[in-house]
Amino acid sequence: MANGDQPNDLDRRRRELEAALASRRPKEPEGGGDSKSDGVGGFGNALRLSSEFIAGIVVGAGLGWFIDRMAGTSPWGLIVFLLLGFAAGVLNVLRSAGLVADFGSRAPKRAPDAGDEN
């Protein structure tokens, strides 16, 4: 009996989860970008995602270096903030790919995971 119930139950839960996720996902930021030809749009998107990612790392490393310089905690500031910057970069990518809602609206599910991996 439990076996007969389980797939249905799982299906129902998955549907609910999908509906909940769909309502929470932010709208695609690019309305006009999609109407462009696919190659250029994809290329632009890839450039955008990579620049978001790199910006996170660069800002993290810069902040860490600056804090080290000011507080004399070398090298720990650089280490900690580079890793934080990495997590922020992944968060940026997820955010611009539309997987995580925008600032402040809900818990970013995966970014803390990415941070913990370090």
Point out which residues bind other proteins (CB under 8 A).
27, 29-33, 36, 40, 44, 47-48, 51-52, 54-61, 63, 65, 68, 74-75, 78-79, 81-95, 97, 99, 102-108, 110-115, 117-118
**Complex with other proteins: residue 1 or 107, whichever CB lies closer:** 107
- To the nearest whole angstrom, how small is the minimum distance from the Cβ of residue 100 to other proteins? 9
Q: Residues near 8 by Cβ (< 8 Å), separated by ≥ 6?
A: none
**CA distances (Å), 113 to each of 65, 90, 109, 110, 118, in order?**
25, 10, 7, 5, 9
